[in-house]
Amino acid sequence: MTNVQNATNPPAPDVAGRYALYQNVPVAVQAIDLVKDYGTGESTVHALRGVNVSFAKGAFTAIMGPSGSGKSTLMHTLAGLDSSTSGKIMFEGRDITKLKDNDLTLLRRTSIGFIFQSFNLLPMFTAEQNILMPLTLAGAKPDRAWFARLVSTLGLSDRLNHRPNELSGGQQQRVAIARALISKPSVVFADEPTGNLDSVSSAEVLDFLRRSVKDLGQTIIMVTHDAIAASYADRAIVFADGRIVADQPHPQADQMGELLTQVRTNALAAASAAPAAPLAESAR
Ligand SMILES: Nc1ncnc2c1ncn2[C@@H]1O[C@H](COP(=O)(O)OP(=O)(O)O)[C@@H](O)[C@H]1O
Ligand SMILES: [Mg+2]
């Protein structure tokens, strides 16, 4: 089984590079020494502490780790939804941390799909209108054949005229997935896409994500706290305290469960070894 590096001990700079599996394959997106701090002074939160990672094109990567370890921050910065404090994010050969707002908006529209845990559908619009929204906003014509393929693969053909409140959670998430894929983005980010779904809907959603990687060559980066969800991925990365502490090819559910337990144990040990932090006013 893979050893988890101690959370207080930063891994070697290029964790991904240590795996032959990820060498000699085209990279979709890469973080180089990526740092993200929230706030300043004593109250600074170090959400990303110098992350180095490459995500291969056409691969499905899961990101796991305890709550607050920086998973969402990584996704938001990689997707250009949030700024970084320092470091680079290489996307299609460009460092997106250097892009002007307009160029970043354009890149997000054309090359990035994002699926949120809470679906984020527009309640006043039908499923079809929601799916087509990114193109509507961009003033672009939909590829009807691609739309039809997405809708039928996702089992939404007879739900297109329904509004979100007339759809089940699983159906809403499938609409959100179709919306993320409609513009044929080069990378799809999914932040706990099955977090609000029952196990049957989860399996449907994960199955679709898996197939879109296998059959369509889609690149997917997915945050999940669920070891079973991670087992659908080609690779699982584990975060702790703003750093990558494990990088597992072909993750299995039981193995990821063990890894996560080990990470939590290490985090607890590190916390108890550190000098006791003063309690915040609200915690007293
Ligand atoms: N907008 C924000 N302002 C201040 N702190 C934040 C903000 N977003 C996240 N954080 C902090 O950054 C750390 C990482 O958060 P996050 O990336 O959301 O973790 P995860 O997704 O792994 O649960 C946490 O300590 C969190 O409280
Ligand atoms: Mg999160």
DSSP string, 46-73: EEEEEEEEEEETT-EEEEE-STTSSHHH
Percent over 90 (pLDDT), the chain: 70
> Which residue has better confidence, 207 or 93?
207
The answer to whether residue 131 is domain-embedded is yes
Strands 86-91 and 94-95: antiparallel
Does residue 21 carry a pLDDT above 80? no
Average pLDDT over residues 188-195: 93
Burial of 130 (0-12, 13-18, 19+ CB in 10 A): buried
Task: Determine, yes or no, domain membership for 143.
Answer: yes
Per-residue confidence band for 93, with pLDDT thresholds at 50, 70 and 90: confident
Average pLDDT, the chain: 88
The closest residue, in CA terms, to atom 7 on ligand 1 is: 38
Residue nearest to atom 16 of ligand 1 (CA): 70
Give 177 Cα–ligand 1 centroid separation in angstroms: 24
- 144 in any annotated domain: yes
In a domain, 119, yes or no: yes
- Ligand 1 lined by 195 (C-beta under 6 Å): no
Question: Residue 43: CB within 6 Å of ligand 1?
Answer: no
pLDDT computed for residue 6 by the predictor: 46
Classify residue 141: in a domain, yes or no: yes
Better-predicted residue by pLDDT, 216 or 139:
139
Helical packing angle, 169-181 and 199-214, nearest 10°: 20
Is the residue at 107 inside a domain?
Answer: yes
In a domain, 30, yes or no: no
The predicted model gives 161-184 an average pLDDT of 94
71 in contact with ligand 1, CB cutoff 6 A:
yes
Q: Give the residue-averaged pLDDT of 227-254.
A: 96
* Structural domains of the chain, count: 1
Helix (H, G, I), strand (E, B) or coil at 254: helix
Beta strand spans in 75-180 (E): 86-91, 94-95, 112-115
pLDDT at 174 over 70: yes
Mean pLDDT (whole number) for 114-143: 94
Residues near 33 by beta carbon (within 8 Å), at least 6 away in sequence: 13, 50, 51, 52, 86, 87, 88
- AA letter at 222: M
Residue nearest to ligand 1 atom 9, measured at CA: 73
Highest mean pLDDT among 5-14, 102-111, 271-280: 102-111
When pLDDT is cut at 50, 70 and 90, the band that residue 55 belongs to is very high
pLDDT tens digits for 30-43?
999 999 999 999 99
**Ligand 1 pocket, residue 242 CB under 6 Å:** no
Give the ligand whose atoms come closest to the C-alpha of residue 240.
1
Token pair for residue 131? 């799916």
Residue 126: pLDDT above 90? yes
Mean pLDDT within 83-110: 93
Look up the domain containing 219 and give its range.
57-75+100-271
Does the CB atom of residue 224 touch ligand 1 within 6 A? no
Residue 154 has pLDDT above 90, yes or no: no
Average pLDDT over residues 59-66: 96
222 SS3 class: strand
Whether the CB-CB separation of 243 and 7 falls below 8 Å is answered with: yes
The predicted pLDDT at position 284 comes to: 42
- 142 neighbors 161 (Cβ within 8 angstroms): no
pLDDT at 282 over 50: no
Band of pLDDT at residue 283, cut at 50, 70 and 90: very low
Give nearest CA residue, ligand 1 atom 2: 38
CA of 136 to the centre of ligand 1 (A): 32
Share of the chain above pLDDT 70, in %: 88
* Local confidence band at 277 (pLDDT 50, 70, 90 cut-offs): low
CATH number of the domain bearing residue 189: 3.40.50.300
pLDDT-based confidence at residue 12 (cuts at 50, 70, 90): very low
Residue 69 in contact with ligand 1 by CB distance below 6 A: yes
Looking at residue 63, its pLDDT comes to 98
Q: What is the pLDDT of residue 97?
A: 96
Q: What is the pTM of this model?
A: 0.86
Spatial distance between the Cα atoms of 245 and 89, rounded to a whole number of angstroms = 20
- Rounded to the nearest angstrom, the distance between the alpha carbon of 258 and the centre of ligand 2 is 21
Check: CB of residue 244 under 8 Å from CB of residue 264: no
With respect to residue 194, please indicate whether it lies within any of the assigned structural domains.
Answer: yes
Q: How far is the CA of 157 from the centre of ligand 2 (A)?
A: 31
